[in-house]
A = this chain, B = another copy of it.
Amino acid sequence: MSQELQELRNKIDDADKRLVSLIAERLSLVARVGRVKSRDGVPVYDPAREASMLAKRRAEAEDAGISPDVIEDVLRRIMRESYNSESREDFKCVNPKAGRVVVVGGFGQLGRLFVKLFKASHYEAEALSRRNWDRAEELLHDAGLVIISVPINSTPEVIGQVSKMMPENAVLADITSVKTGPLETMLRCHCGPVVGLHPLFGPDVQNFAKQLIVCCGGRMPEKYSWVIEQMKIWGANIYNVEAAVHDRAMSVIQGLRHFTTFAYGVNLMSERYDVARLVNLSSPVYRLEIMMVGRLFAQDPALYAEIIMSSKQNLEVIRRYADAVQKCLKLIEKGDEQKFIELFLETREYFGEYAQKFMEESRRLLAVSSDSGRRGEEGGAK
């Protein structure tokens, strides 16, 4: 290697070392902001500040002659790290007189997160489950908020048991992924404030910053509003929607989605396609596809069986999807290009502005996906 190249590489290494210190400095500044915010009860996530800050940096990047997208992507990545670590701080308590918070099923992953965050916000929070059921009476009799976080099949039964032991004016909430049934059961069993919640994130999430929580109102919103406010302090986005609308959307988002992924994986397996070869020959788009299929099978089969088979509505949605596959297959068998293009354009119209928007967004994501350069490692180069 030429000396010139070596000297340039030394300079790059030096710049990168300064980059490491600068990121460390920024993270520590943001951690201090987090502590001040928690103390003052300011929500962790501040979209307006974020947007104005990014706009300024983008302008500065253009002045420096570099792409604004680089600086935005880099800052978003560093900010994510900040959001992740901000959960370690303590949070303002919105309702210090709320009384005890009991998370039924609070030893599961999601339940534990709720217990942790309520504790970090200076509530008395306790997990209750089969393993400490002997304390149920003691924990529930003067509770201020009871959150049901048990598998969907046990939810009605647990609501029935718990509601008998808790005070009439306490808030009863559930966090199952279906909302109509649990909400009806809660309203029937408990005559006080009731709210259905659905946290739309996976079990490996460490805090609520920027996470979406669906809220289906039940009864006496003025009495459970502090729970919503508290989750906003944690950084959550709250999305209010009717239970039935939520459930229909979930049949697509969860039931159908998991079914198609399952069927696609089963088909690959039955055909014994060589996974390594598919990966090596993947375009970035297909690499993402096979990754999203394969990841399903690293997870709990019983959980997915439960989600897919949880309702009649799911079955209907899946059946109609299977019909659409048959219809599209017939079209391909006939080689009917004209009809294909018609259906394509009709679907484009249905997606409206989202088609183009998704195109742009996916371009960005596919670029990130290629950044990892795994292709090189996996033997693309021969």
Contacts and interface: CB of A to CB of B under 8 A. Distances in A.
Nearest to A324: B267
Contact of A249 (B64, B273, B305, B364): B273
A369 interface: yes
A79 interface: yes
Interface in A337-382: 337, 340-341, 343-348, 350-352, 354-359, 361-365, 367-377, 379-382
What 3 A-B pairs are tightest by C-beta distance, nearest first?
A267-B324, A294-B358, A301-B344
Contacts of A280: 239
Contact of A24 (B21, B65, B204, B332): B65
A47 B381 contact: yes
Contacts of A266: 324, 327-328, 343, 347
Contacts of A264: 260, 321, 324
20 contacts: A13-B56, A17-B60, A19-B71, A23-B61, A24-B61, A47-B381, A70-B81, A74-B74, A79-B371, A80-B370, A241-B281, A252-B268, A253-B278, A253-B283, A263-B328, A269-B351, A272-B350, A275-B352, A292-B358, A309-B332
A288 interface: yes
Given A19-B74, A66-B81, 20 more contacts: A11-B29, A12-B26, A23-B64, A70-B77, A80-B370, A200-B283, A204-B363, A210-B373, A238-B382, A240-B382, A241-B277, A245-B277, A249-B277, A257-B285, A262-B344, A263-B324, A267-B321, A269-B347, A298-B351, A304-B344
Interface residues of A, number: 172
Contacts of A49: 9
A132 interface: no
Interface stretch (A31-39, A95-103, A109-117, A164-172): A31-39
A141 interface: no
A342 to B, nearest CB: 9
Contacts of A304: 340, 344
Interface in A234-287: 237-241, 245-246, 249-250, 252-254, 257, 259-260, 262-286
A132 B13 CA distance: 50
A352 to B, nearest CB: 7
A349 B85 CA distance: 36
Given A214-B281, A295-B355, A328 B16 contact: no
